[in-house]
Amino acid sequence: MASIDNHEKLQEPNAAEETRNLQFSPDDVKVYEKGDYNTAKGQRDERLRWKNANFYTSLQFAVTGIITAIKEESNMRKHMLVSVIVIAAGLILQIGRLDWLMIFLALFLVIAMELVNSAIENVVDLAADYNFHMRAKRAKDMAAGAVLIISVFAVVVGLFVFLPRIWSLIFG
Catalytic residues: 114
Residue type, 94: Q
Is the CB of residue 165 less than 8 Å from the CB of residue 93? Answer: yes
Q: How far apart, in whole angstroms, are the C-alpha atoms of residue 29 and residue 165?
A: 53
Q: How far apart, in whole angstroms, are the C-alpha atoms of residue 107 and residue 102?
A: 9
Q: Work out the angle between the directed axes of helices 55-72 and 97-127 (0-180°, nearest 10).
A: 80
Q: Considering only CA atoms, give the Rg of the chain.
A: 23
- Nearest CA-CA partner of 21 in 10, 29, 13, 9: 13
Q: How far apart, in whole angstroms, are the C-alpha atoms of residue 84 and residue 100?
A: 13
Q: Where are the beta strands (DSSP E) in the chain?
A: none
Q: Maximum Cα–Cα distance for the chain, whole Å?
A: 75
